[in-house]
Chain A
């Protein structure tokens, strides 16, 4: 049976993909320090412990504000680049856009090491801002991709119509362009925020002595007794990431529906 074979394959694939992730909340609520079956019993104790570790709180705060700044900056850069790419023709456009999008496929460790070398040569102290620099670099291509599709699905004659009806270039942007690409902007910010929050390699190299959450977690893995706490934290991050991605997709779809365009499928 061909159909059954394919179904088995699909189920196996999904199991492989999600079984480890499901283990995360399972052990986060397990009343035992050893990560092994059988489960010992239900506890919320690990979550309670989370609230008492100050270094953890610092790293969460660090991560959040790095992610927020990254989201805003990369979306701003993305807006400029996507607008230019979707609306204007200029010399060497293909090459320029290709170079901007390159970090999408560049190994992060290369980017991280290269940045580290340059920053150290320039004598710049490592810290939150250097992490933001690295994160903006890798998030901007995502922002451009999202915003480019938002600008492309925007009928150019809408802007011309507004201009024709007496508005200026700037008020046209404010009244017509911005509201219509707003779902794209929100979606871009959410994606960049999520990427920055999860990112480890660049943060690890550039963070100095202000670790982000993933870097802090990694440092805690050396202590076996703390693993259940990490599991609990991981569970919270998992849920938060899912919520963010769902929100991003919601805004993207709403944007598509709003401009009356046909949904050509997004990132998710």
Chain B
């Protein structure tokens, strides 16, 4: 059983009338890569700055390593931060930047140089000690900021949108590198991001935040497959929403009548029971539906419709298919395997799908 390192207990933060955090409770485990994901203004950065000690709590409790952090200033907390702007000190060299926090540790000159060297090696900038920091590229600044924080061996590393200033290629490369680095050093990382893909790629667990509160806290897989609300589902990836009404509680679980798809029995583990006749919404991810290109292809369930839009991505094709009897089209993603045709707009299509992937929202 992994230990809880950070405990958030009904944490509140108000700025005057504005409620930035509305009672956030969560536990962050020792050594995990934890992400705070949400749209801008959802309170994720405020929560991070609260953990760092830059913001006081308006209510609730924050414990790090079992210790109440009330009244503990940022410079006394076992946390270090990588800032969105990286905050590299422009008047100091790379080595002086990385060694900045070490000066208070009372190390000798040689020990300090060794630590700085090791930290720079770790982020792939070995030998950069004497470089002027204002001449570094964006990716290099990011690495220096990482080395500067990690050299102090904090219990928690806080990362405030660290990749948002990098271009796409470099960002994707750094996502993988950061993840590797985290496994290597074993320090708890808390990442703030608005990029759902980034969160999915890097995290052990993700807290999706809306309006100052956590909407769902789960592993990437659970978050993607079983979003608890329509809002979470919309924020993470693409989800098709279909109107449905509860038909009754059958032997296989809750039965719902879905527009265009007919009656479906849903996994009882997911939705134990419901009242007959209640209208509701179900969701299906684009990749859980398939287009059956020839009549010999089989699927658990089949619906008919016509293709209203085709978007070709090279490796994938996204179809918008209007199912018979449903106004809004559903999006279906198909991998472009060899020999598989790409349908034209207006073509008729048979759509195969599986009730197991369906998510019920209430």
Contact = CB atoms under 8 A, between A and B. Distances in A.
B89 A162 contact: yes
Given A155-B85, A258-B91, A259-B90, A165 B148 contact: yes
A166 interface: yes
A161 B92 CA distance: 14
Nearest to B148: A165
Contact of A179 (B91, B101, B134): B91
Contacts of A163: 73-75
Contact of A165 (B84, B101, B134): B101
B90 A160 contact: no
A165 B83 contact: no
Contact of A166 (B75, B83, B84): B75
Interface string B75-86: 100011101110
A258 B90 CA distance: 6
Given A158-B89, A179-B91, A164 B84 contact: no
Contacts of A260: 90, 134
Nearest to A160: B54
Interface residues of A, number: 18
Interface in B47-100: 52-54, 73-75, 79-81, 83-85, 87, 89-91, 100
Contact of A161 (B79, B81, B134): B81
Contacts of B104: 166-167
B74 A161 contact: no
Interface residues of B, number: 23
Interface string A153-174: 0010110111111111000000
Contacts of B89: 158, 161-162, 176
B289 to A, nearest CB: 45
Contact of B87 (A155, A179, A258): A155
B152 A258 contact: no
Contacts of B81: 160-161, 164
A28 interface: no
B143 to A, nearest CB: 15
A259 B133 CA distance: 10
A260 B137 CA distance: 12
B87 A161 contact: yes
Interface string A241-268: 0000000000000000011100000000
Nearest to A154: B90
A166 B100 CA distance: 9
A94 B287 CA distance: 56
Contacts of A185: none
A176 B91 CA distance: 8
Nearest to B73: A163
A14 to B, nearest CB: 37
Interface in A168-190: 168, 176, 179-180
A166 B52 CA distance: 12
Contacts of A157: 83-85, 87
Interface in B251-295: none
A176 B80 CA distance: 18
B75 A258 contact: no
Contacts of B100: 162, 165
Contacts of A155: 85, 87
A164 B134 contact: no
Contacts of B90: 158, 180, 258-260
A253 to B, nearest CB: 14
A258 B134 CA distance: 8
Contacts of B134: 258-260
Contacts of B87: 155, 157-158, 160-161
Contacts of B53: 164
Nearest to B83: A157
Nearest to B134: A260
A166 B85 contact: no
A183 to B, nearest CB: 10
A88 B87 CA distance: 20
B74 A164 contact: yes
Contact of B152 (A158, A166, A180): A166
Contacts of A158: 87, 89-90
Nearest to A257: B134
A180 B52 contact: no
A180 B79 CA distance: 26
Nearest to B145: A161
A165 B152 contact: yes
A162 B54 CA distance: 12
Given A179-B91, A180-B90, A260-B90, A164 B80 contact: yes
A256 to B, nearest CB: 11
A158 B87 CA distance: 5
B75 A160 contact: no
Contacts of A160: 54, 74, 81, 83, 87
B75 A168 contact: yes
Given A164-B53, A176-B89, 7 more contacts: A155-B85, A161-B81, A161-B87, A162-B100, A163-B74, A164-B80, A258-B90
9 contacts: A158-B89, A162-B89, A164-B52, A164-B74, A164-B79, A165-B100, A180-B91, A259-B90, A259-B134
Interface of B: 52-54, 73-75, 79-81, 83-85, 87, 89-91, 100-101, 104, 134, 148-149, 152
Rank and list the top 8 A-B pairs by shortest CB-CB distance, nearest first.
A165-B101, A161-B87, A157-B87, A157-B83, A260-B134, A166-B104, A164-B81, A158-B87
